[in-house]
Amino acid sequence: MSKIVVLIATGGTIASTEDATEGAVNATLSGGDLLARLHDRPEGVSIREEAFGTLGSYALDLETVHRLCRRIAVALEQPEVAGVVVTHGTDTMEESAYLSDILVASEKPVVFTGAQRHAGEPDTDGPRNIGDAIRCAASEALKGCGTVILFEGDIHAARDVSKTHTSRVDAFRSAGLGKLGEVDGGEVYLYRRPIQGVHIATKRLESRIALMLLGLGSSPEYLDFCLQNGTKAVVLAAFGRGNAPRGFADAVRRLSTHNIPVIVASRCPEGRTLPVYGRDSGGSSLAAAGAYFSGSLSPIKARLLMSALLGAGVTSAELATKFREAVGTQV
C-alpha cells in the first residue's frame, strides 16, 4: 500500500517564472504545476496536494505562517498521512520551518523545500528538491526529528539551519552542528537525530518583537525607542559571546524594569552566548541588567521563540525560565 504525503505549496522561487512584460520573477505556479514537473515520482508514495498561496517568502508574515503551521498540523492529524512537504521561498524558509518545529506537535516528518533557480530556468533545482523532500516525508527514519529542510540533497534540522548563500543551489548550512543526513540515489540516509525538541501551544504569535543587529559603536537609542512604541521584547544580535557597545547595559536595564525582555543572541553563526565580560556593556553587564541569553539559538530564531512564548501568554514571572528551558541555557 502506498504512503500518503501532503504537499502544501506556498510560493517562492520554486513556484516562480519570469514575467517578460514585467521583467521580474514572480510566484504563480500551484502545487499541481510543481508535481507535473517532477522528473521521477518517488515510488510507493501518493501525493495529496493542498494550495496555500503563491507568495515570495519575503512577503509572508507571522500570522500567515502561523496559519500554515495549523494547516500542517491538521494534515498530520489524518491517520493515513505519513508526512507533509511544504514548498516555500528560501529567504525565510528557516523561520517558517522553525515555527513549524516548535508549534506542530506530531512525530510525523514535516519537510520544507524550495529552489534557488526558478521553474522557468532549464536547470531549475526545484523538481529534484521536491522529489527528495517527498522521500523524506514518507521516511520512517525521519519520524520524531521535528521539522527539517531538504535542500540540494541535504537534510537539516529546522532549529540549526540557515540560508547561507544568496544564489547557489547549495544554499543551506547548519553551521557548527552539521546536517542530519542526506538523500542520495533516491534513498534517505540519516546520520544523527536532533535532541532539542520544544513544543509551544499558542493561539497567536506576538509580532512586536524587535531584532537589532549590532555593529561597531552602534547606539542604544533604538532600545529607548522600543520602550515607547509598544515593542514587547527585543532580541540583540550581539558581538561574539554576547557583548554590546557602551550604553547598552543601561538601556537594557531601562527595558527590563518595564518588563520588556531583552534577549542576547550572537551575530556569530557558530558557538554559544555566555556572559563573560564585565565592564561597559560586556555580556555580564547585560545579564546583570536583566538580559537573558539564547545559547546556540540564532537571533532570528530567538525572535520567533519569543513571539511564540509571548503569544502563548507566558507571564513576565515565568518568561525567563520558559525561554531558558526552550534554548537549554542556565543564564
Calpha distance 14→80 (Å, rounded)? 27
Closest contact distance (angstroms) between CB of 54 and ligand ASP is 10
Nearer to ligand ASP, 27 or 249 (CB): 27
Q: Is 42 in the site for ligand ASP (CB under 6 A)?
A: no
Burial class (CB within 10 angstroms; exposed 0-12, middle 13-18, buried 19+) of 33 = middle
Q: How far is CA 103 from the centre of its chain?
A: 11
Residue nearest to ligand ASP (CB): 89
Q: Is 127 in the site for ligand ASP (CB under 6 A)?
A: no
Q: Is 121 in the site for ligand ASP (CB under 6 A)?
A: no
Q: Is 225 in the site for ligand ASP (CB under 6 A)?
A: no
Closest contact distance (angstroms) between CB of 195 and ligand ASP is 29
Nearer to ligand ASP, 4 or 60 (CB): 60
Q: Is 12 in the site for ligand ASP (CB under 6 A)?
A: yes
What distances in angstroms separate CA 124 from CA 42, 117, 202, 304, 314, one per listed residue? 18, 5, 37, 31, 44
Of 29-37, 88-96, 134-142, 224-232: span binding ligand ASP (CB under 6 A): 88-96
- Spell out, one character per residue from 46 to 75, where the chain touches ligand ASP: x when CB under 6 A holds, - when not: ----------xxx-----------------
Nearer to ligand ASP, 88 or 301 (CB): 88
Calpha distance 203→225 (Å, rounded)? 28
Compute the radius of gyration of the chain from its Cα atoms: 20
DSSP classification of residue 124: -
Closest residue by Cα to residue 147 from 163, 135, 160: 160
Closest contact distance (angstroms) between CB of 309 and ligand ASP is 26
3-state secondary structure of 151: strand
Binding site residues, ligand ASP, CB under 6 A: 12-13, 56-58, 89-91, 114, 116
